[in-house]
Amino acid sequence: MTANDRLAPATRAAQALRMIDARTGAVVPGVEPASTFARDEAYAPRQRYIYARDGGPTVEHAEAVLASLDGAADSLLFASGMAALVTLTETLAAGDRVAAPRIMYHGGQSWLYRLAERRGIHLDLYDQADPLGAARAVRGDTGWLWVETPANPSWDVVDIAAAAQAAHAAGARLLADCTAAPPCALRALDLGADVAFHSATKYLNGHSDLTAGVLSLRDAEFAAELRGLRALMGNVLSAWDAWLLIRGLRTLFIRWERSSQNALAIARHFRGHPKIAQVLYPGLPGHPGHAVAAAQMQGGFGGMLSLMVTGDGAIAHDVARLANVFLPATSLGGVESLIEHRKAVEGPHSVVPPQLLRLSVGIEDAADLIADLEQALERAG
């Protein structure tokens, strides 16, 4: 156990593992942008670095912080969340079977559909709102069980420990998409997941100024295989974006706390509102997944919630365009609050109800956010 391991996760994140620059004493990590690294007089690598497609010092620093927070044997950074998922699925062979949620991140689901159509992967979709859905989806020949919790944009909750038990009993691996529940709130590997995936574009960075993806892995040998695939595919994160990610990780815990408080205030305000048919937020005691979320998450339930407006999709569309404080943009987990009419974003094949508005609640004043939604609802339709 290192000195860092004995510190609380919030302290490790805030100090970026206390990696003080040995030459200058700088308390802010530097950026190493080099694309290639010269060997020494004996033609041996000076450290582990040869070429930036394999990573570099800044990327490695960010990965070390993430592995520490996730409790992983290793964490790997990619140029986007989709780059991470595509690299992971390169370990699948024709005929392999994957079980995945019916409602999940649409980019990941679109890629799974492509694999099923083009490469002979068998895809089984299960109802993520069913507490037993993930476990029931596992068959004797299932290779991967994919869970997303809370699930975007319905915010259904999956019991990761139960899903891991079902997957491992069948000899399958469990992939947990934890984009909406980063390691300040949920450590999926501790609950039995084999891989924790994050779109680091979202909460981990928190400032809407980079795209990145993370795979945190329980098994070091599997991590080494994926590291080799990443080098071949050339989709490693850049040094500058890794530096931005380190900066974002240093405020992760405090950002999560504030956005969770704001989202809960909004959820409570609009529960029972005459213009809102339903509030989807696992932080509300009436949410079907509240008990499981409370058991496997800490420090709040996050800033993601959805509002089902009373009326049709046209009203939801109007609310999104009439907001003045919420920004009408696609993403989540930043310091600024975003609103989107999810059906319009996902397109004609979306299974998301047209009345659904997805909110990513930031760190602004909660009263301003509530007042903005109120005025947009009043003007809509």
The three-state secondary structure class of 148 is strand
Number of domains in the chain: 2
Among 12, 97, 173, 202, the active-site one is 202
pLDDT at 351: 83
Q: Are residues 161 and 172 in the same domain?
A: yes
Q: Are residues 226 and 359 in the same domain?
A: no
Give the pairing of strands 74-78 and 173-177.
unpaired
pLDDT digits 0-9 by tens, 9-68: 999 999 999 988 888 889 898 999 999 999 999 999 988 899 999 999 999 999 999 999
Q: Are residues 269 and 370 in the same domain?
A: yes
Task: For residue 68, give Cα distances in angstroms to 74, 279, 295.
Answer: 9, 35, 22
Q: Look at residues 331, 52, 305 and name the one whose alpha carbon lies nearest to residue 211.
A: 331
As given in the structure block, the two tokens for residue 286 are 């009436």
Res. 5: pLDDT tops 60: yes
% pLDDT > 90, the chain = 90
CATH (domain of 156): 3.40.640.10
Among 70, 177, 194, 318, the active-site one is 177
Q: Are residues 217 and 262 in the same domain?
A: no
DSSP 8-state secondary structure symbol assigned to residue 6 = G
Single-letter amino acid, residue 309: V
Q: Are residues 326 and 195 in the same domain?
A: no
Catalytic residue status for 124: no
Backbone region of residue 29 per phi and psi (left: phi > 0; alpha: psi in -120 to 50; beta: other values):
beta
Q: Are residues 30 and 49 in the same domain?
A: yes
Q: Look at residues 120, 109, 94, 183 and name the one whose alpha carbon lies nearest to residue 146.
A: 109
pLDDT at 2: 65
Last residue of a domain, one of 249, 279, 297: 249
Last residue of a domain, one of 249, 278, 307: 249
Spatial CB neighbours of 53, under 8 Å, sequence gap ≥ 6: 231, 234, 236
As given in the structure block, the two tokens for residue 304 are 């993601």
Q: Are residues 262 and 161 in the same domain?
A: no
pLDDT at 346: 83
Res. 154: pLDDT tops 80: yes
Catalytic residue status for 194: no
pLDDT at 3: 64
Q: How many CB atoms lie within 10 A of CB 19?
A: 17
Q: Where are the alpha helices (DSSP H) in the chain?
A: 9-14, 57-70, 81-89, 106-119, 133-137, 160-169, 220-233, 239-249, 252-270, 290-296, 313-322, 342-346, 366-379
CA gap 328, 145 in Å, rounded: 33
pLDDT at 111: 96
Q: Are residues 351 and 310 in the same domain?
A: yes
CA gap 357, 342 in Å, rounded: 6
Single-letter amino acid, residue 131: P
Catalytic residue status for 113: no
Among 70, 96, 105, 250, the active-site one is 105
Res. 348: pLDDT tops 80: no
Last residue of a domain, one of 233, 249, 265: 249
Q: Are residues 158 and 258 in the same domain?
A: no
- For residue 291, the enclosing domain spans 252-379
Residues 194 and 177 sit within 8 Å (Cβ to Cβ): no
Catalytic residue status for 177: yes
CA gap 133, 90 in Å, rounded: 26
Q: Are residues 228 and 302 in the same domain?
A: no
Q: What is the dihedral of CA 370, 297, 1, 222, to 10 degrees?
A: -110
Q: Are residues 166 and 113 in the same domain?
A: yes
Q: Are residues 89 and 34 in the same domain?
A: yes
As given in the structure block, the two tokens for residue 98 are 């994957």
CATH (domain of 280): 3.90.1150.10
